[in-house]
Structure 1
């Protein structure tokens, strides 16, 4: 329930609740905690959850779906069928479909290129570029990236070049 692809090397609480539903018994939480803390894949692959210093200034809450999205890349992945990056798009309101009015992104050269600038202009979409170490601007996307990267590292530990599949 922890080390399977569906388990995704989840943390102690998530693993405990999954196991508890199927095999409830006294003292199980300490066994699950011990197992997860000793998981060699998690020790090698998990990222730090330490918060950066500084005050957060949250973005306004979107009023509708796909009115405010953020985009980022996960880069530097091992080549898999010729690919080495994933584009992550997060709707800050929900996960439904529609057309955005504003996009938050870091200052990745791709997003500041002429092509993207013109595309955003044609669709009347405002591009808000974040600055380094300001998680309030695209922290939600960074968190999705961290979760996806951790899941890929854990689930593809033995075959890192198969992540595209």
Structure 2
């Protein structure tokens, strides 16, 4: 259980409470807004989680002041829930939610880099697509684990099927969102795999390869600050590698001139 905060306000919301079941990987993306308290989050937890799944045996979270508050601790302890907190230097205790948060932020970044104040509209479909997509760890979707059956198939909209313009627009928007979600879910999962693999082996780039350049630290001087940093793209490009030097530095072409990077840590495929 965790929060995604620092988002631009959309439909009155500026944060997301992410709750994921450890067994099924089923996730809930719950819109919230500041200011919120332990009491308001607990009420929302009852409304959105306990109503559907019952009292949890345990909750893993970070040491957010909400979860460390006396109210939160007493409320759930008295209901038989064991509260487990990640330590300051080992936040991976709640790694499952951290991975889901990064995936969700990737969704939002891909959808909203140009229209950042509409991200809240995508959250219900993001939750739906996440829960009905295949997860390698479970060999099926979270939906199938929870309900014991495959999710119902969505009937794709065919233009001209309805004369009600508002209905046609809603269904068209839904299908476009789901198409993007499918693409970006796969992309996000691939990025998670690449991120893990980087820590296991070195990355080799060759002259002629096309790479993306990390916005930071370059973004401070060369990129316009028109977008909210939480949903802005993290890399820009692609650019072609022109040469490599013996120190490991890589030169690429940016805006028709050579730009030296400090190393492969600033690059991505």
TM-score normalized with structure 2 length? 0.33
Cα-Cα RMSD: 1.7
Distance in 1 (alpha carbons) for counterparts of 2:67 and 2:91: 18
State the shift of 1:135 in Å: 4.8
More strand by share: 2
Would you say the 8 A contact 2:62–2:91 is kept in 1?
Answer: no
Q: Which has the larger radius of gyration?
A: 2
Where structure 1 has 5 or more consecutive residues not aligned to the other structure, the ranges are: 1-70
Higher relative contact order structure (alpha carbons within 8 Å, sequence separation ≥ 6): 1
Q: Secondary structure at the match of 1:139?
A: helix
Cα distance in 2 for residues equivalent to 1:153 and 1:123: 38
1:118 is displaced (CA, Å) by: 2.3
Superposed displacement of residue 80, structure 1: 1.1
Partner residue of 1:74? 4
Task: Select the structure that is richer in helix.
Answer: 2
Match of residue 85 from structure 1:
15
Q: What is the DSSP-based 3-state SS (H/G/I as helix, E as strand, rest coil) of the residue aligned with 1:86?
A: strand
Question: Structure 1 residues 75, 106: CA separation in 2 closer, same or farther (over 3 Å shift)?
Answer: same
- Residues 1:141 and 2:97 aligned together: yes
1:152 paired residue among 98, 108, 112: 108
Q: 1: CA distance between counterparts of 2:3 and 2:84?
A: 16
Match status 1:112 vs 2:59: no
Give the drift of 1:98.
Answer: 3.9
- Number of aligned residue pairs: give it: 95
- Partner SS state of residue 127, structure 1: strand
Q: What SS does structure 2 have at the residue aligned with 1:87?
A: strand
Distance 1:145 1:86 in 2: 9
What CA distance in whole angstroms lies between the structure 2 residues aligned with 1:160 and 1:122? 41
